[in-house]
């Protein structure tokens, strides 16, 4: 997408973040065209060095950003940050409660110097008795009801991705965009906050509403009574699995015709969805046995032809070869700091008929320090002096 088509072209962002939630906010703004400068400590963001399930955090959530490593505990480093803030529209941070106040970069302090600044804090909790606590995605999932709903009874299980970090970041972006719009009318910035816990509670709100409507608490999804009789994962003869959902009465008729269940079609007690739900135990095993005759590819072709909701049960590594993602810009090419090339998910939206591409690969540590500081008004001699004094890390002087 051309710069003139990127909706946030011209918006400048300073990002003091680590892990997932804060970097997600910066990623979305950057993909939408904002100039996002990621300020890292001299040794670089510790997220870069995570292993195991954390190994993908940095490459996934830090493209399209420029990196500068600064010792923010020095007077010269703090001055450099002030110069960057003076030209910025948005400041993002997601460190522990109180950390920004201790460093003098809390909103109350910065708003006096930069009244147009929009200050986004990504925290564990919004205001209330818990706001002093440190939280993680998994903490929010446990106390927010999601782990209970995902696991088996008595065995809570977190979702298989950092869903609260990412959706919490999305809410942070919504707040920032609303604040940018409001600033157009008031001329003033403001502090906005997004949180993990309240994000998780919002996601399980449908189950809270279920209690209000039915009078019964929602059981975990693994043992729930579905709203539909056929809403399951089915095994195929080639040892694959396919999810199938039959969610309307017309879909039920198409399903019975396509998979040759004339006895179900003729049974008027199965014509309505609610009646099928009540008789699920009677019909589900014959359906499982019939589906098991098909291979996955043949089954999906048949389901697609009759217009039923279906999905192969895929693993993350399968998505690299997904024809839909590869045909329409769903994966974007990236070079990682190690030099390895890969493809990762694009921002899942379209604007003006196009997808958002990569302008900057995942940055190396302080890769853009010299150009960022030049734009802040430093001469090359001043930049070199800062590097010699250990205030700024420069790639070309290592």
CATH number for the domain that contains residue 7: 3.40.50.10540
pLDDT exceeds 60 at position 398: no
- Out of 317, 340, 373, a domain closes at 317
Confidence of residue 3 (pLDDT cuts 50, 70, 90): low
User: 199 and 53, same structural domain?
Assistant: yes
Q: What's the whole-model pTM score?
A: 0.95
Residues 6+ apart with CB under 8 A from 242: 233, 234, 236, 291, 296, 299, 300, 303, 310, 311, 312, 313
pLDDT in tens, 130-170: 999 999 999 999 999 999 999 999 999 999 999 999 999 99
User: 284 and 263, same structural domain?
Assistant: yes
Q: What is the pLDDT of residue 224?
A: 85
Total domains present in the chain: 2
In-domain check, residue 244: yes
Coil, strand or helix: which one is 110? helix
Dihedral sign from CA coordinates of 95, 100, 103, 107: positive
User: 296 and 177, same structural domain?
Assistant: no
User: 168 and 69, same structural domain?
Assistant: yes
Q: What is the pLDDT of residue 225?
A: 83
* Tokens at 300, concatenated: 């999906």
CATH number for the domain that contains residue 289: 3.30.1540.10
- Out of 317, 348, 381, a domain closes at 317
- Full residue range of the structural domain in which residue 67 is found: 3-203+323-397
User: 195 and 82, same structural domain?
Assistant: yes
- Out of 281, 302, 317, a domain closes at 317
User: 122 and 53, same structural domain?
Assistant: yes
pLDDT in tens, 92-123: 999 999 999 999 999 999 999 999 999 999 99
132 by Cβ neighbours in 10 Å (0-12 / 13-18 / 19+) ranks as: exposed
In-domain check, residue 214: no
User: 149 and 80, same structural domain?
Assistant: yes
User: 245 and 196, same structural domain?
Assistant: no
pLDDT in tens, 253-305: 999 999 999 999 999 999 999 999 999 999 999 999 999 999 999 999 999 99
8 A C-beta contact, residue 362 and residue 335: yes
- Count Cβ neighbours within 10 Å for each residue of 72-89 and write b for 16 or more, e otherwise: bebeebbebbebbbeebb
Residues 6+ apart with CB under 8 A from 2: none
How far apart are the C-alpha atoms of 24 and 11, rounded to whole Å? Answer: 17
In-domain check, residue 37: yes
User: 300 and 169, same structural domain?
Assistant: no
CA-nearest of 45, 44, 43 to 22 is 45
Q: What is the pLDDT of residue 356?
A: 95
In-domain check, residue 28: yes
Q: What is the pLDDT of residue 5?
A: 84
> Quick count: other Cβ atoms within 10 Å of Cβ 64?
26
* DSSP states along 93-106: E-PSTTHHHHHT-S
In-domain check, residue 212: no
In-domain check, residue 218: no
Q: What is the pLDDT of residue 152?
A: 95
Confidence of residue 395 (pLDDT cuts 50, 70, 90): confident
In-domain check, residue 51: yes
């Amino acid at each position: 997408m051309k710069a003139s088509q990127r909706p946030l072209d011209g918006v400048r962002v300073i990002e003091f973040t680590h892990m997932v939630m804060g970097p997600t906010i910066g990623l979305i703004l950057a993909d939408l065209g904002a100039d996002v400068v990621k300020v890292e400590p001299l040794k670089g963001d510790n997220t870069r060095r995570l292993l195991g399930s954390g190994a993908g955090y940095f490459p996934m959530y830090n493209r399209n950003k420029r990196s500068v490593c600064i010792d923010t505990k020095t007077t010269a480093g703090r001055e450099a940050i002030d110069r960057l803030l003076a030209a910025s529209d948005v400041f993002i941070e997601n460190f522990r409660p109180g950390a920004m106040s201790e460093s003098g970069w809390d909103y109350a302090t910065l708003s006096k110097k930069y009244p147009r600044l929009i200050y986004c804090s990504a925290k564990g909790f919004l205001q209330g008795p818990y706001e002093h606590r440190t939280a993680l995605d998994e903490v929010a999932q446990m106390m927010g009801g999601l782990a209970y709903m995902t696991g088996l009874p008595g065995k809570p299980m977190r979702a298989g991705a950092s869903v609260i970090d990412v959706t919490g970041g999305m809410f942070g972006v919504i707040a920032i965009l609303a604040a940018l719009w409001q600033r157009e009318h008031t001329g003033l910035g403001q502090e906005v906050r997004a949180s993990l816990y309240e994000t998780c509670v919002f996601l399980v709100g449908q189950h809270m509403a279920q209690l209000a409507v039915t009078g019964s608490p929602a059981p975990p999804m693994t043992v729930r009574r579905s709203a539909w009789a056929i809403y399951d994962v089915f095994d195929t003869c080639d040892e694959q699995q396919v999810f199938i959902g039959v969610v309307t009465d017309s879909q039920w008729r198409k399903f019975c015709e396509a998979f040759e269940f004339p006895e179900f079609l003729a049974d008027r007690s199965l014509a309505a969805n609610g009646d099928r739900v009540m008789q699920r135990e009677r019909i589900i095993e014959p359906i499982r046995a019939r589906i098991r005759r098909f291979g996955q590819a043949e089954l999906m072709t048949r389901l697609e032809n009759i217009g039923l909701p279906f999905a192969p049960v895929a693993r993350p590594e399968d998505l690299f070869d997904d024809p839909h993602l590869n045909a329409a810009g769903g994966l974007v090419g990236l070079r990682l700091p190690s030099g390895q090339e890969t493809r990762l998910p694009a921002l899942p939206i379209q604007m003006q008929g196009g997808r958002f591409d990569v302008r900057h690969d995942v940055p190396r540590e302080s890769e853009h320090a010299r150009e960022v500081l030049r734009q802040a008004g430093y001469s090359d001699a001043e930049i070199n002096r800062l590097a010699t004094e250990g205030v700024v890390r420069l790639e070309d002087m290592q």
